Structure 1
Amino acid sequence: MDRRIQKSRQAIIDAFMRLMSEKEFESITINQIAEEANVNRGTVYLHFKDKYDLRDQLMEAQINQLLYECMTEDNMVHLPSKTALLRTFEYLEQHASFYSLMLKSKGNTVFRNQVETMFRQRLSEHLDSINLDGELNRDITVQFLISAAVGVLEWWIIRSMPYPALVMVEQFWILLNQGVGSEKSK
């Protein structure tokens, strides 16, 4: 991509993120984004159909980058190892401003749904590769694990990461293994 085009696109994204930190998504206009980015309105439309497309492309790029940075090819089908979980929490720490902004805004359900969809796909692939305990309903298991994982990540990010990544991984790992892999108590 031409440097000028790339620079304009990045200016638009940066402007959008600044505006998101100041006001609700629904009240942001293309004119405000263009003005904040110091480009004309037409330039915004060269890169994005509308503000929804801008938001969606930004979210998709961040989630894809998270997957690329944190999931090795060895665990793309399997549940992540503790090392991959630690990389994930550390990545979220490094990109806290973006994730915090997306999760704290009133429109956070769109972002949360994208994260859940990504988790659902990975978890479904994993469950297809193993023999799930016959007593466990696949749909309920998937929903439980997704709700737990996304809920914990959201809680951690919204509360400004009150515990270090390593503590979160250790606690999450214990909970995951006790909830899914422990012996049944009768």
Structure 2
Amino acid sequence: MADKTYLDLRIRKTRKAIRNAFIDLLAEKELNKISINAITLKAEINRATFYLHYKDINDLIDSILDDLLADLKKILIDKFEESYKPGDELTSLILLLEHIAENSHMYKVLLVTKNIPYFTPKLMDLLYELILTTTEQQSIQKTEDFLTVDTPSDIAAWYGTSAIIGTISMWLGNDMPYTPKYLAERIIQLNPFIPANNKKI
């Protein structure tokens, strides 16, 4: 049992080194200019070790994105499959931003440099699913300062997804000048599709 635990830890440590090396290189250059040799050199492993874990760079990318999106799904979606109550969207948004802050180097590379262009659409799909779930479970209307207008949930989800992704990208690009909690509260307050009684912070 001890041997298996040691092996698992060693595997995780090696994969983390490979992924960190890849992300560091991605921050410096375009994807098509990154080689396996450069990754192994930066991770301080040999090519044979790389191939023990990944078939090629595309397999490495798929693994990184799958793990990130699985983490995000656990934070954002799973909770709402169990139950929903007003105010949960703020809690989930804070958890999302805290997760991104803890992994800011990786997310900055993926969202700001856009050197892996298909990450953002995958993240947008996940957020769209979350926002659509919440907007379908609450009354969607403009704030009480405007005329009450019913808004189709898909339009609200399109708007919310684009606004959140854009705001997070700018936040990361400016070195996160606000805390995750503060930013989450401001995003909720600015969202015109959340009823006013759900915006109280």
Q: Same fold (TM over 0.5)?
A: yes
Picking from 123, 137, 147, the partner of 2:162 is 147
**Structure 1 runs not aligned, ≥5 long:** none
Give the TM-score, by structure 2 length. Answer: 0.74
Q: 1:80 to 1:27 in 2, by over 3 A?
A: farther
Question: How many equivalent pairs are there?
Answer: 181
Greater mean deviation of Cα atoms: 112-121 or 41-50: 41-50
Query: Helix, strand or coil for the counterpart of 1:113?
Result: helix
Q: Tell me what 1:179 maps to.
A: 193
Query: Helix, strand or coil for the counterpart of 2:88?
Result: coil
CA distance in 2, matches of 1:163, 1:146: 20
CA distance in 2, matches of 1:7, 1:86: 29
Picking from 131, 152, 168, the partner of 2:183 is 168
Picking from 91, 110, 122, the partner of 2:118 is 110
2:47 counterpart letter in structure 1 = R
Q: Tell me what 2:14 maps to.
A: 8
| Offset from partner CA, 1:80-119 (integer Å, 9 cap, x none) | 3323322222222222111112123242432211210111
Query: Helix, strand or coil for the counterpart of 2:186?
Result: helix
| Aligned-pair Cα RMSD in Å | 2.8
Deviation at 1:8, TM superposition (A): 2.6
Greater mean deviation of Cα atoms: 146-155 or 103-112: 103-112
Task: Give matches, 1:1-186, under 5 Å.
Answer: 2-3=7-8, 4-68=10-74, 70-71=75-76, 74-76=79-81, 78=84, 80-130=88-138, 135-176=150-191, 178-182=192-196
1:97 counterpart letter in structure 2 = H
CA distance in 1, matches of 2:33, 2:154: 37
2:27 counterpart letter in structure 1 = S
| Offset from partner CA, 1:11-50 (integer Å, 9 cap, x none) | 2112212222322222101121122223332332332232
Give the TM-score, by structure 1 length. Answer: 0.79
Deviation at 1:182, TM superposition (A): 4.8
Contact 2:69 2:123 in 1 (8 A): yes
Contact 2:132 2:154 in 1 (8 A): no
CA distance in 2, matches of 1:110, 1:73: 23
2:193 counterpart letter in structure 1 = G
Query: Helix, strand or coil for the counterpart of 1:179?
Result: coil
Contact 2:21 2:39 in 1 (8 A): yes
Deviation at 1:169, TM superposition (A): 1.8
Contact 2:139 2:195 in 1 (8 A): no
Greater mean deviation of Cα atoms: 108-117 or 127-136: 127-136
CA distance in 2, matches of 1:72, 1:117: 12
CA distance in 1, matches of 2:11, 2:182: 42
2:170 counterpart letter in structure 1 = W
